[in-house]
Chain A
Amino acid sequence: MHRDEIPPGTLYLLILKTLARAGEMHGYEIADSIQRISDDVLQVEEGSLYPALQRMLIKGWVKAKWGTTAGNRRARYYQLTASGRKQLETELSQFERVIGAITRVIQTA
């Protein structure tokens, strides 16, 4: 099955949304979750998740703490902060605006 790269700039949005839904996840789960929910269409280049997460940590959108996985492994769990939630809204409305505009352009006969 062909997998599409995610559009540039939407990685933050995907991560923020995924975390907002799940509450707390480690990197592997985030990547997996994005892929599963998008029915395997969207494929995050898994590694690029980590620099992105670091940048989000700097911005204060997420916070991280170490915990244990179901398989009893140490893993870093990420969680949205208040400003992360706010950012999610911003990114969402921005995304919708852009998509709406693109859609209108495409559908105009």
Chain B
Amino acid sequence: MDWLSELARRLWMLMHRRQFDADIEEEIRLHLELREQEKIQAGLSPTEARQAASRRFGNAMLLREKSHMAWGWEWFESFVQDTAYGSRAMLRSPALTIVALLSLALGIGANTAIFSLLDAVMLRSLPLKDPAQLILLGKGNASGITDDFARTQLYSYPFFRRMRGENQVFSDTAAIFSMTNGVHGFVEGRSEAEPMSVQLVSGNYFNTLGVQAFVGRTLNDADDNSEGDHPVAVISYAWWRRSLARDPNVLNRTLKLGATTYNIIGVAPPEFFGTKVGEAPDMWVPLSMVKEVPPNFGGYKDNFSESLFIMGRLKPEISISAATSNVNLLFRQILLGFPDAKLSQENLQKLDKTKVPLTPMATGLSSLRRKFSEPLQILMAVVALVLLIACANIANLLLARSTARARELAVRQALGARRLRIIRQLLTESLVLALAGGVLGVAMASVAKRVLLRMVSGGLDPIPLDVSIDTRLLLFTVAVTIATALIFGTVPGRKRKNSARQITRHLTSRALTGPHGRSRTVSSQSRQSEPCRHWLQQGKRLAPRHRRKLGRLHSWRAARNRAQSAD
């Protein structure tokens, strides 16, 4: 409670600080005058009395400053002052400011946008329960239908069934049709066909992924236990919103895909876009309908119509190598066990040589990744360079400015500004610049991200990809650029150790030689400046001794908002 009321008093002071300063000034004046009167009554002359009073009192100006500083707002006052000064300095050299801001914005914006895209395509885990447990059979680097023997990329539906039933390493195993069916379907009651992308999946797809329905239910095993008689669909949240305007009555609506009418049984949650990054299906239909959904691929019961990805959720205690050996054992057994397997010499040799690799699919499947991973990585490298260049750019600009300001800073220091105070001022100025750049960078990032996505998509419709700006990276780039600005912005402050001496030397020699150099040393002009030179040299000798005291004076002035820069 004590500190609270103390804070209240301090804040009160901050808001009425002019009044406070005036009060202290009046108080001190009264004190001095009373002492003076007393001395006069004791028989001193008025001048002597004033001097005596002042001697006894001490350095009134310094004490006033101390009284003001006791309230602990010095940092705040100089911060406000420095910010104002920094902004003015920025406006005074608009070219430099614009270039610096653009570098910052580009460095932060481009980096963040590209990384966010990279993240969405390559790095981010699927929004699922424990995505790290999800394993894909094969590498997932092919799609389509094949009847090749012993392919490891694609599998037939009967193979999936047996693998699911017989393996001991997955808690559940699901299948996904390797292609998305593009269908022109009808929403019941509408006469115009709409393009819909339909993803065929095994009945336990959602259960394996651990995805709960947002509305209604997801698919289940019963939807996938007999061919052709389970016309049901789970629609995506995005499609529900886009095409059905979030109709709350969605479960009573139907769709017509090809010749069959499907009941909508549920809506997937908003964050769920499927398992292929960059392809967000509008709806999921059980694989049992594979022959009914245009273009009517079929092959539900065909042992060698290989068109599916198979993924499993690893049991918690199973290692990936244990899973690999189990899956490979079964792979061989199942293929050899199919009665219609063509066990030619060639095929058997092929089977012997084939090994099913298991691929973690925490980040999902993606054809985008195949296509863009390399360009994206190159882009990322380029952008890292851009960041580096941006930083170098800012560093350069600030250094150049610091050279231009050397004199200003030297004068300040000669007047007694402490080095720390100067560094703090430069720091604040750099911070103003960096923060403005940071804000621009964030704005730039969100624009650049949209442009990039459009570039990557190529066509008219942008790829359905959730490229949200990655906060961690944004923070990182902002931190890097701001750090650069701060480090290089304060170089002049750290450099000027001897500047007080420098400036007096500078001024003395100027006074000596006049504006036209040494040749005029004996001119009347320089003789006129003789007293001035003497004065400066005196000052130079005194300077180190009094710099400390002057330092206090300087900061007092600063605190009083009176010190205007000596620029």
Chain A CB within 8 A of B93 CB? no
- Whether A75 touches B67, Cβ cut-off 8 Å, given contacts A46-B35, A58-B6, is no
Is the Cβ of B9 less than 8 Å from the Cβ of A57? yes
Cα–Cα distance between A54 and B66 once the two chains are bound (Å): 9
Give the residues in chain A near B475, CB-CB below 8 Å.
none
> Interface centre among A50, A58, A69, by most B CB within 10 Å?
A50
- Whether A47 touches B30, Cβ cut-off 8 Å, given contacts A28-B35, A58-B10, A59-B6, is no
- Whether A47 touches B57, Cβ cut-off 8 Å, given contacts A73-B30, A76-B27, is yes
Chain B CB within 8 A of A55 CB? yes
Chain B CB within 8 A of A48 CB? yes
The smallest C-beta distance from B13 to any residue of chain A, in angstroms, reads 8
Give the residues in chain B near A28, CB-CB below 8 Å.
30-31, 34-35
Give the residues in chain A near B28, CB-CB below 8 Å.
27, 47, 50
Give the residues in chain B near A45, CB-CB below 8 Å.
58
How would residues 37 to 69 of chain A score, 1 for a CB under 8 Å from any chain B CB and 0 otherwise? 000000001111011011101111000001001
- Whether A47 touches B59, Cβ cut-off 8 Å, given contacts A26-B30, A27-B31, A54-B71, is yes
Chain A CB within 8 A of B102 CB? no
Is the Cβ of A51 less than 8 Å from the Cβ of B63? yes
Is the Cβ of A46 less than 8 Å from the Cβ of B56? yes
The smallest C-beta distance from A79 to any residue of chain B, in angstroms, reads 15
Cα–Cα distance between A83 and B3 once the two chains are bound (Å): 13
Cα–Cα distance between A28 and B60 once the two chains are bound (Å): 14
Chain A CB within 8 A of B2 CB? yes
Cα–Cα distance between A58 and B2 once the two chains are bound (Å): 11
Is the Cβ of B9 less than 8 Å from the Cβ of A60? yes
Is the Cβ of A60 less than 8 Å from the Cβ of B57? no
Chain A CB within 8 A of B471 CB? no
Chain B CB within 8 A of A21 CB? no
Cα–Cα distance between A59 and B2 once the two chains are bound (Å): 8
The smallest C-beta distance from B12 to any residue of chain A, in angstroms, reads 10
The smallest C-beta distance from A37 to any residue of chain B, in angstroms, reads 17
Chain A CB within 8 A of B5 CB? yes
The smallest C-beta distance from A108 to any residue of chain B, in angstroms, reads 38
The smallest C-beta distance from B36 to any residue of chain A, in angstroms, reads 11
Chain B CB within 8 A of A74 CB? yes
Interface residues of A in 1-53 (CB under 8 A from B): 26-28, 31, 45-48, 50-51, 53
Cα–Cα distance between A55 and B5 once the two chains are bound (Å): 14
Is the Cβ of A51 less than 8 Å from the Cβ of B67? yes
- Whether A46 touches B70, Cβ cut-off 8 Å, given contacts A51-B63, A57-B9, A59-B6, is no
Interface residues of B in 1-34 (CB under 8 A from A): 2, 5-6, 9-10, 13, 23-24, 26-28, 30-31, 34
Give the residues in chain A near B64, CB-CB below 8 Å.
50
> Interface centre among B13, B24, B62, B70, by most A CB within 10 Å?
B70
Cα–Cα distance between A50 and B25 once the two chains are bound (Å): 10
The smallest C-beta distance from A46 to any residue of chain B, in angstroms, reads 5
Q: Pick from B56, B63, B71: contact of A50, CB below 8 A.
A: B63
- Whether A58 touches B34, Cβ cut-off 8 Å, given contacts A47-B63, A74-B26, is no
Residue of A nearest to B23 (CB): A76
Interface residues of B in 297-327 (CB under 8 A from A): none
Interface residues of B in 51-80 (CB under 8 A from A): 56-60, 62-64, 66-72
> Interface centre among A26, A51, A59, by most B CB within 10 Å?
A51
Is the Cβ of A48 less than 8 Å from the Cβ of B23? no
- Whether A54 touches B24, Cβ cut-off 8 Å, given contacts A26-B30, A28-B34, is yes
Q: Which B residues are closer than 8 A to A by beta carbons?
A: 2, 5-6, 9-10, 13, 23-24, 26-28, 30-31, 34-35, 56-60, 62-64, 66-72
Q: Which 7 A-B residue pairs are closest in the complex by CB-CB distance?
A: A47-B58, A51-B66, A47-B63, A54-B70, A54-B67, A47-B57, A28-B31
Sample 30 A-B pairs with CB under 8 A, ordered by A number. Answer: A26-B27, A26-B30, A27-B27, A27-B28, A27-B31, A28-B30, A28-B31, A28-B34, A28-B35, A45-B58, A46-B31, A46-B35, A46-B58, A47-B28, A47-B58, A47-B62, A47-B63, A50-B64, A51-B69, A53-B67, A58-B9, A58-B13, A58-B71, A59-B6, A60-B6, A66-B23, A73-B30, A74-B30, A75-B27, A76-B27
